[in-house]
């Protein structure tokens, strides 16, 4: 922004309905769309680009703009990085606002450094959401209509996909890995499934992180020593009647 006390004028920037690459409730989700002229409008107050506060403390400007919304209920605890940019070859600036339970908690409209500026990225770093928080991200382009965009929500250690495999009916893999402690908790299924289980072995990034026998219904199992480079957790369930059931879930790398 060249104008110090107001958001630069834009030509009715709008965003089309979001096409989710991954559910936004999970980490590392991506949404894409294109700026149109048919979406809702709102008057946005100028945020502070130095502190990412939602409203600049002194002489904030304002801008009425068409905008789009990505909303979800957080399934995990912890900080996120939220980025928005145009997918055009030439960078287009965006303004972005993050809301937690209907209250704005962070906003920005300027790249933080030369690298972000060269890619046209506007981001919000270390925005903490708790499990159960209703999260809303509103954003608009400081430019003409017809601009394609991409919004990324990044959180290290949390699941970015649902669990896959027959074993998911026997054990529930976690929504999140604690990057600090390198631990996670899984839960055994109810009585009908638990009585069929002989043993379960868990691996993360190829490393064994837990093994149990004689499980109980709804039993919590602690996984320890999860590698920071792990991108998945896998459970192999051995059944009393013979055979195995496997389940795998993908996670964002702890970094």
Smallest CA-to-CA distance from 184 within 170, 194, 173, 200 is with 173
Cβ(141)–Cβ(10) below 8 Å:
yes
Complete DSSP assignment for the chain: --STTSPPP-S----PPPEESS-TTSSSEEEEEE--SSS-EEEEEPP-TTT--SS-SSS--EEEEE-EEEEEE--S-EEEEEEEEE-SSS---EEEEEEETTEEEEEE-S-SSHHHHHHT-EEEEEEEE-TT-EEEEEEEESS-SS-EEEEEEE-TTBBSS--BSGGGGTEE--SB-BTTTTBEEEEE--HHHHTTEEEEEEEETTEEEEEEES--TT-EEEE----TT--EEEEEEEETTS-EEEEEEEBPPP-
**pLDDT, tens digit (0-9, with 9 covering 90-100), for 17-35:** 333 333 444 557 889 988 7
Angstrom distance (rounded) from CA 224 to CA 222: 6
**pLDDT, tens digit (0-9, with 9 covering 90-100), for 164-193:** 999 999 999 999 999 989 999 999 999 999
Cβ(37)–Cβ(147) below 8 Å:
no
Domain 166-250 has CATH 2.60.40.10: yes
Every domain of the chain and the residues it spans: 19-154, 166-250
| Average pLDDT taken over every residue of the chain | 86
The alpha carbon of 172 is separated from its chain's Cα centroid by a whole number of angstroms, namely 20
pLDDT of residue 121: 92
Angstrom distance (rounded) from CA 12 to CA 41: 9
Angstrom distance (rounded) from CA 128 to CA 25: 14
pLDDT of residue 27: 54
Sequence-separated (6 or more) residues with CB below 8 Å from residue 203? 209, 233, 234, 236
pLDDT by position in tens, the chain (length 255): 222 233 433 333 333 333 333 344 455 788 998 878 888 889 999 999 999 999 999 989 999 888 988 999 998 888 899 999 999 888 888 999 999 999 999 999 998 888 888 888 999 998 999 999 999 999 998 877 778 889 999 888 988 889 999 999 999 999 999 998 999 999 999 999 999 999 999 999 999 999 999 999 999 999 999 999 999 999 999 999 999 999 999 998 887
Backbone dihedral region for residue 253 (phi beyond 0: left; psi -120 to 50: alpha; all else: beta)? beta
Q: How far is CA 241 from CA 80, 213, 219, 246, in A?
A: 44, 15, 21, 15
CATH top class, domain 19-154: mainly beta
pLDDT of residue 20: 34
Max Cα–Cα distance, the chain, nearest Å: 72
- The burial of 227, by beta-carbon neighbours within 10 Å (0-12 exposed, 13-18 middle, 19 or more buried), is given as middle
Q: Look up the pTM and report it.
A: 0.71
């Amino acid at each position: 922004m060249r104008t110090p006390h107001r958001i630069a004028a834009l030509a009715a920037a709008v965003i089309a309905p979001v096409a989710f690459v991954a559910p936004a409730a999970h980490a590392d989700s991506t949404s894409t769309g294109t700026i149109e002229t048919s979406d809702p409008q709102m008057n946005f107050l100028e945020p502070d680009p130095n502190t990412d506060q939602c409203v600049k403390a002194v002489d904030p400007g304002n801008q009425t703009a068409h905008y789009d919304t990505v909303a979800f209920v957080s399934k995990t605890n912890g900080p996120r990085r939220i980025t928005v940019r145009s997918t055009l070859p030439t960078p287009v600036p965006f303004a972005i606002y993050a809301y937690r339970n209907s209250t704005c908690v962070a906003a920005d409209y300027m790249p933080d450094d030369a690298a972000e500026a060269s890619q046209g990225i506007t981001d919000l770093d270390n925005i903490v959401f708790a499990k159960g928080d209703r999260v809303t991200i509103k954003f608009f382009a400081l430019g003409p209509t017809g601009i394609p965009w991409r919004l990324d929500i990044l959180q290290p250690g949390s699941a970015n996909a649902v669990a896959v495999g027959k074993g998911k009916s026997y054990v529930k893999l976690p929504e999140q890995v604690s990057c600090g402690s390198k631990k996670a908790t899984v839960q055994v299924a109810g009585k009908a499934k638990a009585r069929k289980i002989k043993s379960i072995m868990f691996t993360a990034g190829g490393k064994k992180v837990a093994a149990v026998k004689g499980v109980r219904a709804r039993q919590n199992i602690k996984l320890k020593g999860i590698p920071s480079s792990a991108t998945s957790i896998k459970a192999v369930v051995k059944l009393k009647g013979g055979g195995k059931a496997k389940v795998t879930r993908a996670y964002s790398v702890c970094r």
